[in-house]
Amino acid sequence: MNALLIVDVQNDFIPGGALPVPLGDVIIPLINSLQRTFDLIVATQDWHPVQHKSFASSHAGKKPFDIITLHGQEQVLWPDHCVQGSTGAAFHSALSMNKVEAIFRKGMDLEIDSYSGFYDNGHKKSTGLAGYLREHKVQRIFICGLAADYCVFYTAKDALQENFETYIIEDATRAINVADFENAKSTILAEGGQLIESKFLHRHL
């Protein structure tokens, strides 16, 4: 079984949102088109409580994109984003959700950030995504969404650690920082993952 995993295509990550990914909106039509190819589609959703510790506003004297140590983990401080129940946390209205079978929320623990759709950044809590995919006999995961150098990258890393055959659909993701994504791609390839373009997807299904 193959699964399409759509990562965090939410209003706050789209241009005009609180933490916009450059050109994050241009991939939405492609993601909608990709869904026709898959029988199983799941999505992740950043879902932070108010005053989440990854927000710069939760730390006196800090500003967005400062880096601190939080519970032993390096933590980038972000603008407030994807706050539970907010318009910014909602999936973008142009994203087709009709075929999405399950949504896995992350970042709900006030004290620790969660880039990956599988675990928080400290690998202390599982979202249940790996078990869900195994129950559906998934062997190959194809990942798209936002942002390539953070949540897509960490989701792919954890997918590989969970022994799924893992692909990032490169033209169906966009990065906050393109140089960081180049480094991320090297890591994914070194750990056994693959990067593909959507036009070659049929070769892997």
Which residues are known to be catalytic? 8, 106, 151
* Token pair 């995993």: residue: 5
3-state SS, 74-140, equals EEECECCCCECCCHHHCECCCCCCCCEEEEEEECCCCCCCCCCCCECCCCCCECCHHHHHHHCCCCE
Task: Report the sign of the C-alpha dihedral through residues 7, 161, 65, 169, in that order.
Answer: negative
* Contact status, residue 155 vs residue 6, Cβ threshold 8 Å: no
Local confidence pLDDT in tens for the 205 residues of the chain: 999 999 999 999 999 999 999 999 999 999 999 999 999 999 999 999 999 999 999 999 999 999 999 988 899 999 999 999 999 999 999 999 999 999 999 999 999 999 999 999 999 999 999 999 999 999 999 999 999 999 999 999 999 999 999 999 999 999 999 999 999 999 999 999 999 999 999 888 8
Structure tokens at 122: 């400290």
pTM of the model as a whole: 0.96
- The pLDDT, as a whole number, for residue 21 is 97
- Tell me the angle at which helices 178-190 and 153-161 cross, rounded to the nearest 10 degrees: 10
Half-sphere exposure of 186 (CA within 13 A, CB side): 5
Fold of the domain spanning 2-49+82-204: Rossmann fold (3.40.50)
So what's the pLDDT on residue 98? 97
Tokens describing residue 133: 């995919």
Listing DSSP states for 17-44 in one string gives SSSPPTTTTTTHHHHHHHGGG-SEEEEE
Rounded CA gap, 3 and 106, in Å?
Answer: 19
pLDDT number for residue 19: 97
Rg (CA), the chain: 16
Where do we find the tokens 């869904």? Answer: 35
State residue 47's pLDDT score.
Answer: 98
pLDDT at 185: 94
Name the amino acid, one letter, at 122. G
Domain layout of the chain by residue ranges: 2-49+82-204
Cβ–Cβ under 8 Å, residues 95 and 6: yes
Q: Which uninterrupted H or E stretch holds 183?
A: helix 178-190
What the block records as the tokens of 90 is 């909602």
